[in-house]
Amino acid sequence: MQSMIKRIRELKKQRQAIILAHNYQRDEVQDIADFVGDSLGLAQTASKTDAKVIVFCGVHFMAETAAILCPDKIVLMPDPQAGCPMANMITVRELKELKKHYPDAVVVTYVNSSAAIKAESDYCCTSSNAVKLVQSIPKEKRIIFIPDQYLGSYVKSQTCLTGSQFGQAGRDIGLWRGYCPTHRRILPQDIENKKHLYPKAEVVVHPECTPEVIALADKVASTSGILKYCHESDRNEFIIGTEIGILHRLKKENPGKTFIPVTELADCPNMKLNSLEKIIWSLEDMQTRITVPEDIAQRAMKSIQRMLAVQ
C-alpha cells in the first residue's frame, strides 16, 4: 500500500491535482484525500480549489456538480460506474410532467440527482442545508421536493408545514417516491437491538433514514453534522445510523469514543468502487473525465449556486 500512496503523491504533483473524497469512501481512499466531506463541503471545496485537476472519489452526480462549478478544470472519476440509485429514481420526463401539472410549484432538488434534473430545478439542497433552504422560500409557494421522500419528510417535520400531498391546504410540499437503498436497510428494530446492548449510547442518524428510524434517534444530522455532533458531545458512545464508511473518520477524529453501526448492511457498494489502484490509473491516463453539456450545465448552475448560498 505504501508504494501506491507514494505513486499517488507523485502523480498529484505532476498533474497539479487535488483528491476529494466523500465520507462514505473506503478508509484508505479517505486517508489519501486532500479533503474529505459531505456533498456540500465537497462542492464548496471544488469551487474554490486552484488545482488544475480534481480527482473525485464519490459517486457520479458529485463529479458532475464539480464539473459544472469548475468548467476550466479537469474533473476525473476513478470509477465512472459509481452511480447513485436514488439519482436514477426520477427522470427528466417525470419531472417535466410534475412541473406541467403544478406550474406554480417551486422545485427543490436534493443534490443526489443528475445534472439534467438539476437543470430543471429551481433550487438544489443537501441534507445539511435542506431545512434552511426550504425555510427561505416564501410560505405561500408550493414545493415539489425530489427525489428523496425521506429527506423531504424530515424537512417537512422540521419546518412545521401542513399538507403531505400535492394540492392539500396550507403550505404544501409534494414528495417524490425516491429513496436511498442503503439508508432504507437501517430498520427500527436494529436501533432497538443496539440500544438494548448499549443503553448509554446516543443514537445519531442521517435524514435519509425512514421516519420510523428518525423517531428513535437522539440526533438527526447530515454526515458533516454527525461528525460535528459526536466530536462536541460529552457522551462517549454513539450508535450511528448512516452508511458505515463514516465510522472510519469518526474513530480517527475521536480516539476516546466508541461508535457502533446500527447495521453493517448500511454499506453502499457504489461508494466503495473507488480504490487506490483506480486513483493511480485515473491520474496516469487522465481518465475518466466527467463533463456536462454546456446547455445543461448553465441551467443547472442556478440551482447549485442557490444551494451553495445557504449555509
Residue 266 lies in a domain: no
Is 163 inside a domain boundary?
yes
Q: Give the residue numbers spanning the domain of 55.
A: 2-83+271-292
190 is a domain residue = yes
From residue 307, alpha-carbon distances to 221, 238, 280 in Å are: 17, 30, 32
Please tell me whether residues 93 and 174 are part of one structural domain: yes
| pLDDT given for residue 311 in this prediction | 73
Within-domain flag for 248: yes
How is residue 178 annotated by DSSP? B
* Residue 148, SS3 per DSSP: strand
Quick one: 237 and 175 in the same domain?
A: no
Same domain, 57 and 142: no
Q: Specify the number of domains making up the chain.
A: 3
What per-residue confidence (pLDDT) applies to 158? Answer: 87
pLDDT for the residue 162: 45
Q: Are residues 105 and 129 in the same domain?
A: yes
**Strand, helix or coil at 205?**
strand
Instruction: Give, for all 311 residues of the chain, the pLDDT tens digit.
Output: 899 999 999 999 999 999 999 999 999 999 999 999 999 899 999 999 999 999 999 999 999 999 999 999 999 999 999 999 999 999 999 999 999 999 999 999 999 999 999 999 999 999 999 999 999 999 889 999 999 999 999 999 888 644 444 433 335 899 999 999 999 999 999 999 999 999 999 999 999 999 999 999 999 999 999 999 999 999 999 999 999 999 999 999 999 999 999 999 999 999 999 999 999 999 999 999 999 999 999 999 999 999 999 87
Same domain, 159 and 303: yes
Domain-embedded: residue 41: yes
**Dihedral of alpha carbons 220, 224, 228, 230, sign:** positive
**pLDDT value for 161:** 45
Is residue 8 located within the same domain as residue 46?
yes
pTM score, whole prediction: 0.93
49 plus 6 within the same structural domain: yes
Name the β-bridge partners of 54: 18, 75
Residue 43 shares a structural domain with residue 95 = no
Same domain, 90 and 76: no
Q: Is residue 219 part of a domain?
A: yes
Q: How far is the C-alpha of 259 from the C-alpha of 33, rounded, in Å? A: 23
CATH label of the domain that carries residue 130? 3.40.50.10800
- Give the other-Cβ count within 10 Å of 137's Cβ: 17
Among 267, 259, 245, 255, smallest CA distance to 198 is for 259
